[in-house]
Structure 1
């Protein structure tokens, strides 16, 4: 019977099964729970247990003194918490080591100089191990939580996607900044000529909101509020024009201000 050949996978193809992860957790709080178990067991050395924030040293302590937990349930709880925290540490190691390698390379360190630090015997092995570390960091940064294959091709492809996403976010931020810079003068112009608009309760309300927020309109959140009020005002003016078939502005200045606001919001 002919032997079935194994299908080779693309080195950039995402993993079909994303590895399970502990993910983010409050490690200090869990160390605190371990401390409480040892206090309740009257651990005579508890005052030598490291601070809750010193995760590695605290884990070594509770491992060494695990025998003080006499209650079966306390033993189980303590052991499971230790397993969880060691898994958490394991997941963090690749991320932080990848950042350390990145910093070393940025400082001009050659791959040959990183061989002892990465416990490999050739510069190419140092490069490949660093690539695998970057894969872990890219998996953590993935919006979809999808694991990145530990191959140079997959890592480079994932990094390109991150660069594309970052560039799109920069463009969106620049556009938002440009739009926000135009919001204030357009809003001020509308407020200045408010007497030139037809008498309408909704128009007056939104003009009041705009006028109230304008003096302190500096942060991104305040700009969003201003944009929201401006959109509501333009909708109210448009509704009047649809019902009356007449301009909502009674003067050239108010009509021009309305047109400027509508054009800004349309883009």
Structure 2
């Protein structure tokens, strides 16, 4: 109920309404040749609509219990936020047997493909730096520049999409939540992706923009290292995941710089 009230008070409006039959035709009846992505949420298809405009049509898995809630979030939030580092939601369709979202098409696909997928090793350091900076700018807009504060809740490498120039855009606002300016955090049901969850959120369910900041930090480590945050045995038996590996080495560097004589005796 609290979430519904916040959405109503925010002044956010939905995007353009598309006919299900038109999107079905544009994707060749959601044919395999048009599919460009698949996950637990559903599938994404490349389509040509509105006199040749290229878009991505996201077909949600309605068997998932949260599909309608996530759909409402994405329509309300994704179609209102406009920033060069946020994927634009152009519209949606609800008049057919499935829930459809019409999104800005990102030709290079998701970041994770360049980190450990089929395009691994093709990002130079300049591109990696620009990707990290672009995601930070997108988050800053959601947290501080938009007229309501938005916490994304699912910042991760496969939710970062890249355009032709490898400029990043944050995608998938299905789990996003609004946070009133007059409170430090809201308590919510845990949502997000394993490996990217901030400790205070995972343990207590306290949601604030710091949750996105932590996830952004994990994503940054992935961009720098080219390793998944959930990879096990990153550097031997003492550290099991990327975050622990980095934390351990940070502490080692701290003690070496602070107490060099004691450590080298």
- TM-score tier (shorter): under 0.3
User: Larger Cα Rg: Structure 1 or Structure 2?
Assistant: 1
Between Structure 1 and Structure 2, the one with more helix by share is 1
Q: Structure 2-normalised TM-score?
A: 0.22
Between Structure 1 and Structure 2, the one with more strand by share is 2
Q: Structure 1-normalised TM-score?
A: 0.22
